[in-house]
Amino acid sequence: MAEIKENNQVIVDREVPCTVRDGVKLYANIYRPNDGGIYPILLCRLPYNKNLPDFSHRYIDPIRTAMNGFIVVIQDVRGRFASEGEFMPFEQEAEDGYDTVEWAARLPYSDGNVGMFGLSYYGFTQLYAALEKPPSLKAVFPAMTGSISGEAFSRDGVFNFASAETWILESVAPDYLKRKQDSSEYAETIKVITNDLNKIEKWHDFKPINQWPPVTKHPELRELFRKYLNKVYLTDSLSKGTFTSEELKLPAYHLAGWYDNFLGPTIKNYQDMKKSDHNQKLIIGPWGHGAFNSEIGERSFGITSSGLSIEGKEDITSLHINWFDYWLKQDNTVLPEDDEPIKIFVMGINQWRSEKEWPLKRTNNTPYYFHSNGNANANLDSGTLTTVRPEAEQADQFVYDPESPVPTNGGSVLFYNGKNAGPRDQSEIEQRKDVLVYSSKPINTPIEVTGWVKVVLWAFTDAPDTDFTAKLVDVFPDGTAYNLTDGIVRTSHVSGGNGQENLSGKTVKYEIDLWATSNVFLSGHKIRVEISSSNYPWYDVNPNTGETTLDTSEMVQATQTIVHDSEHPSHLVLPVIPIE
């Protein structure tokens, strides 16, 4: 752990302007040691108000970081709070990021070396700045963030509309409208926004999404919302070419959570960036988005799972201090050989462990096949999960009604005020007729599952377009069923399709990416997978018409058939790790 200097005062310079290439001024707060010294810069660029501690530094203590010999610069991005200009999500962050990095490197108390840190959107600001290759940027620490070539609020063609609606209304709208309205009009506007946020769970039911009243009732927000839904900002932000995180060549420490909505992209950022720069690290805790407590959802993983006491040795601030000490204060070119690049928290046994690579080389990707007599939703013992390949078996069937979707119950979700995230008991949901349940027998010896998880599903539908969902569940001896990870696929976006292909009536092989987990199924537990067609309101419901609820409210029912026989062996693929 980095040593904290005693009796050292910190100066805070507020509202320091940085003028970027088009003359716009971006304002920052700067935390620096009060000793007249020259230090490296740690820069964070965010759209959520640098003056609000819950957002500006959140999980990082800037005072302590400055006391350890850094200049901490926290800046409002263009068009947000104190900074000038128009806010255009993502589109503005590459060039503004470059200019800010080089401005920070020239500050009179800077030694010219700059690192960047931040979570979520301010993880994106690091990656976009790095694309421009500012010469003073030496290392980054992107936490719980998406891929620069991915989509911030969608997954495999399906819209994470509840989080997108929440983000626009809660995080973007207040300051965005304050800048465009006079004080009396805004006073009424903020009352309306507050009232809508208090009822946001009901507002999620409104269709079509592109006419969502909590946003469209404000004329100044309509164009931003339209561009956002249509991914215009993401497209424009990468208009110079097609970029991937593989092109980013600089040391990066990636921070993820097993229940974070950016888990998959964060891990893939690590994998991609490692191809061009081996100086990558990754830590994954049992955390949700921006939440680092030892308790999440309905489970507790022990005090040392917390971001405040990792292994009882360090916290997230000290991870940052140690990382940037290494890359900004010393003339280093490679990670030390004795420093394992990966640290993961293994749930079930609730222990941290260091690893050399991802995926783990000792992984045995093991198929667990679906079996039933055509009644996998009749009761929880009807559908089974074994390592034996199926032969002649009757298919399972259910009716998916988008007017009555399967409710979201935990997972890697991002709802208003962090509601509904993490592991939660799935028992009630598993009683629904539109949820198929396949379970192993109680296991005799523990089974560790660490790595990428997927479901290979053979299915057909009578709808021109529909969704299939899958969820991995750890069933405790008392019947409590905790979700570990989940995924979804839209039939019109299957691999090899053109996005418009009508697969109605065809038996098609789908691969559902459940992202990743690390969990030991203990003796007496069951491994379970749930199959359905909705997870609402985390994902927008598929209306089964060939359209989407982005622009239609018309919905019809679909009959879904899950096939598991010798020619169509539907199965779950688990990355099993030998237990020594």
Domain count, the chain: 3
Considering the candidates 57, 289, 371, 571, report the single residue annotated as catalytic.
289
Looking at the structure, tell me whether residues 185 and 66 fall in a common domain. no
CATH code of the domain containing 87: 3.40.50.1820
Distance in angstroms (rounded) separating the CA atoms of residues 245 and 238: 12
For 222, the domain range is: 154-234
- Residue by residue, pLDDT tens for the chain (580 residues) are 344 454 479 999 999 999 999 999 999 999 999 999 999 999 999 999 999 988 776 789 999 999 999 999 999 999 999 999 999 998 899 999 999 999 999 999 999 999 999 999 999 999 999 999 999 999 999 999 988 766 677 888 899 999 999 999 999 999 999 999 999 999 999 999 999 999 999 999 999 999 999 999 999 999 999 988 887 777 666 655 455 666 789 999 999 999 999 999 999 999 999 998 999 999 999 999 999 999 999 999 999 999 999 999 999 999 999 999 999 998 888 888 888 999 999 999 999 999 999 999 999 999 999 999 877 877 777 899 999 999 999 999 999 999 999 999 999 999 888 889 999 999 999 999 999 999 999 999 999 999 999 999 999 999 999 999 999 999 999 999 999 999 999 999 874 444 445 566 689 999 999 999 999 999 999 999 999 999 999 999 999 999 999 999 999 999 999 999 999 999 999 999 999 8
Distance in angstroms (rounded) separating the CA atoms of residues 149 and 318: 30
Distance in angstroms (rounded) separating the CA atoms of residues 250 and 292: 26
Among the candidates 234, 261, 280, a domain finishes at 234
Q: Which two tokens mark 27? A: 């304002």
User: What pTM was estimated for this model as a whole?
Assistant: 0.95
Q: Which two tokens mark 403? A: 């007017």
Considering the candidates 61, 156, 260, 465, report the single residue annotated as catalytic.
260
Looking at the structure, tell me whether residues 39 and 164 fall in a common domain. no
Q: Looking at the chain, how many residues does it have?
A: 580
Q: What are phi and psi of 508, to 5 degrees?
A: -125, 145
User: Active site includes 289?
Assistant: yes
Q: In what order do the strands lie in the sheet with 280-288?
A: 10-19, 25-33, 71-76, 39-46, 110-119, 137-143, 252-259, 280-288, 342-346, 351-355
Q: What are phi and psi of 564, to 5 degrees?
A: -145, 95
Considering the candidates 120, 136, 237, 318, report the single residue annotated as catalytic.
120
Among the candidates 286, 320, 355, a domain finishes at 355
Burial of 350 (0-12, 13-18, 19+ CB in 10 A): middle
User: Active site includes 260?
Assistant: yes
Cβ count within 10 A of residue 298: 12
Looking at the structure, tell me whether residues 283 and 329 fall in a common domain. yes
Closest CA to 288 of 150, 476, 415: 415
Domain assignment of residue 1, yes or no? no
CATH code of the domain containing 473: 2.60.120.260
Task: Quickly list DSSP for 436-471.
Answer: EEEEPPPPSS-EEEEEEEEEEEEEEESSSS-EEEEE
